[in-house]
Chains A and B, each alone.
Chain A
Amino acid sequence: MPLPWLVVFLPWAGALLVAAVPGLRLAALLNLGVSAASLVLALFLLGTPYGEQGWTRLDALNLPLVVLSFVIGFTTAIFSLGAVAAERFDHWRGRAYHAAFQVFMGAQALALLADNMGVMWVAIEMATMASVLIVAVHGTPAATHAAWKMFLICGVGITLALLGTIILYLAVQPLVGHGDIGLSWAELRAVAADCDPGVLNLAFIFLLVGYGTKAGLAPLHSWLPDAEAEGPIAISAVLSGLLLNAALHAVLRVKAIVGANAAAVAPGPFLVALGLASLLLAALALWRRRDARRFFAWSSVEHMGLAAIAFGLGGAAANFAGLLHMLGHSLCKSAVFFGVGHAAQVKGTQKLAEIGGLVASHPVLGWGLAIAIAAVAGLPPFALFTSEFLLLVEVAARHGWLIPLLGIGLLTAAAAKIQTLQRMCLGDPTPDVPHEGAWWPPRLTEALTLGPLFLHLALALLLGVALPGPLAALLAEAAAIPG
Chain B
Amino acid sequence: MTFGQLPYDVAHLLGGAMLLLSFVLLYQRRVTAVIHAFAMQGALLALAAAWQAHVQGAPQLYLTALTALVAKAVLIPLALRVLVRRLDLHRTVETAMGIGPSMIAGVALVALAILVVLPITAGVRAIAREDLALALSVVLLGMLMMITRRNAILQVVGLMSLENGLILAAVGVAGMPLVVELSTAALVLVAFVVAGVFVFQIRERFDSVDIGFLETHRGERR
- Residue ranges of A at the interface with B (Cβ–Cβ < 8 Å): 116, 118-119, 121-122, 125-126, 129, 132, 136, 139, 141-142, 144-148, 151-152, 155-156, 158-160, 162-163, 165-167, 169-170, 173-174, 177-183, 196, 198-199, 201-202, 226, 229-230, 289-291, 294
Residue pair B196, A147 in contact (C-beta under 8 Å): yes
Known contacts A156-B143, A178-B177, A289-B220: A198-B193 contact under CB 8 Å: no
Q: Are B178 and A166 in contact (CB under 8 A)?
A: no
Kindly state the separation between the CA atoms of A166 and B135 in the bound complex, as whole angstroms.
Answer: 11
CA distance A202 to B133 in the complex (A): 12
Whether the Cβ atoms of B121 and A196 lie closer than 8 Å is yes
Q: How far is the CB of A242 from chain B (nearest CB, A)?
A: 20
Tell me if B124 and A144 are in contact (CB < 8 A).
no
Shortest C-beta distance, A355 to chain B (Å), equals 15
0/1 interface trace, chain B 160-180, chain A, CB 8 Å (1 if under): 001101100110011111100
Do A159 and B176 contact each other (CB < 8 Å), given the known contacts A136-B196, A151-B196?
Answer: no
* Chain A residues, Cβ within 8 Å of B211: 148
In Å, the complex CA distance between A226 and B218 comes to: 8
Contact status of A199 and B121, CB under 8 A, knowing A119-B178, A148-B152, A156-B159: yes
B206 to chain A minimum Cβ distance, whole angstroms, is: 6
5 A–B contacts, CB within 8 A, in A order: A116-B177, A116-B178, A148-B211, A182-B176, A183-B177
A125-B175 contact given A118-B182, A174-B123, A202-B116, CB 8 Å threshold: no
The 8 Å CB contact of A166, one of B159, B169, B203, is: B169
Nearest-neighbour CB distance to chain A for B121, whole angstroms, equals: 6
Determine the main DSSP class of B at the interface with A: helix
CA–CA, A136 and B178, complex, Å: 31
Taking the nearest CB of chain A, how far is it from the CB of B167, in angstroms?
9
Q: Give B139-156 as 1s and 0s: 1 = Cβ < 8 Å from A's Cβ atoms.
A: 100010010000010010
Q: Which residues of B contact A167 (CB under 8 A)?
A: 132, 169
Within the assembled complex, what's the spacing in Å between the Cα atoms of A14 and B138?
Answer: 40
Residues in chain B near residue A126, CB distance under 8 A: 185
B103 interface residue (CB < 8 Å to A): no
- For residue A160, which residue of chain B has the nearest CB? B139
In the complex, are the beta carbons of B175 and A162 less than 8 A apart?
A: no
Give every chain A residue within 8 A of B188 (Cβ-Cβ).
Answer: 129
B124 in contact with A118 (CB, 8 Å): no
Residues from chain A with a CB closer than 8 A to the CB of B152 are 148
Could you say which of B120, B146, B155, B189 contacts A129, with CB atoms under 8 Å apart? B189
**A139-B203, A294-B219 known; A162 vs B162 contact (CB < 8 Å):** no
Q: Would A121 and B182 count as touching, CB distance under 8 A?
A: yes
For A162, list chain B residues within 8 Å (CB). 166, 170, 182, 186
CB contact between A202 and one of B117, B146, B205 (< 8 Å): that residue: B117
Q: In the assembled complex, how far is the CB of residue A451 from the closest CB belonging to chain B, in whole angstroms?
A: 28
A245 to chain B, nearest CB (A): 21
The total of Cβ contacts below 8 Å across the A-B interface reads 147
B44 to chain A, nearest CB (A): 19
Complex Cα spacing A198 to B170, Å: 19
Which residues 110-124 of B sit at the A interface, judged by CB distance below 8 A?
116-117, 119-124
Chain A residues positioned under 8 Å from B122 (CB to CB)? 198
Chain A positions within 8 Å of B215 at CB level: 145
Residue of B nearest to A128 (CB): B189
Nearest CB in chain B: distance from A263 CB, A: 12
The answer to whether B128 has its CB under 8 Å from any CB of chain A is: yes
How distant is B70 from chain A, measured CB to nearest CB, in Å? 20
Residues of B within 8 A of A (CB): 116-117, 119-124, 128, 132, 135-136, 139, 143, 146, 152, 155, 159, 162-163, 165-166, 169-170, 173-178, 181-182, 185-186, 188-190, 192-193, 196, 200, 203, 205-206, 211, 214-215, 217-220, 222
Contact of B155 among A118, A132, A152, A169 (CB under 8 A): A152
Q: Which residues of B contact A173 (CB under 8 A)?
A: 124, 128, 173-176
Q: State the CA gap A202–B118 with chains docked (Å).
A: 11
Query: Does B189 lie within 8 Å of A125, measured CB to CB?
Result: yes
Identity of the chain B residue whose Cβ is nearest the Cβ of A122 in the assembled complex: B185
Assuming A170-B124, A170-B132, is B205 touching A144 (CB within 8 A)? yes
> Contacting B205 at CB < 8 Å: which of A125, A141, A291?
A141
**Complex: how many Å from CA A160 to CA B146?**
14
Q: How far is the CA of A419 from the CA of B152 in the complex (A)?
A: 39
Instruction: With A144-B205, A152-B146, A166-B170 as known contacts, state yes or no: A125 contacts B185, CB within 8 Å.
Output: yes
Q: How far is the CA of A181 from the CA of B178 in the complex (A)?
A: 10
Please give, as numbers and ranges, the residues of chain A lying within 8 Å of B189 by CB-CB distance. 125, 129, 155, 158-159
A151 close to B193 (CB less than 8 A): yes
Closest to B165 in A: A163
Name A170's contact: one of B139, B143, B173 (CB within 8 Å).
Answer: B173
Q: A60 to nearest B CB, angstroms?
A: 26
**Within the complex, which residue of A144, A158, A166, A289 is in contact with B173, where a contact is CB–CB below 8 Å?**
A166
Question: In the bound complex, do residue A144 and residue B214 qualify as a contact, i.e. CB atoms below 8 Å apart?
Answer: yes
Select from chain B the residue with minimum beta-carbon distance to A146: B219
The CA-CA distance from A156 to B211 in the complex, in Å, is 17
- The answer to whether A142 touches B222 (Cβ under 8 A) is yes
Q: Shortest distance in angstroms between B122's beta carbon and chain A's nearest beta carbon?
A: 8
Q: Identify the interface centre among B165, B177, B181: most chain A CB within 10 Å of its CB.
A: B177
A142-B175 CB under 8 A given contacts A159-B166, A162-B182: no
A122 to B200, CA, bound (A): 25
By a CB distance below 8 angstroms, the chain B residues around A119 are: 178
Q: Could you tell me the distance between the alpha carbons of A118 and B222 in the complex, rounded to whole angstroms?
A: 41
Which residues of chain B are near A144, meaning CB under 8 Å? 200, 205-206, 214, 217
Of A116, A118, A155, A165, which is in contact with the most chain B CB atoms at under 10 Å from its CB? Answer: A155
The residue of chain B having its C-beta at the shortest distance from the C-beta of A154 within the complex is B189
**Which residue of chain A has its CB nearest to the CB of B139?**
A163
Q: How far is the CA of A126 from the CA of B181 in the complex (A)?
A: 13
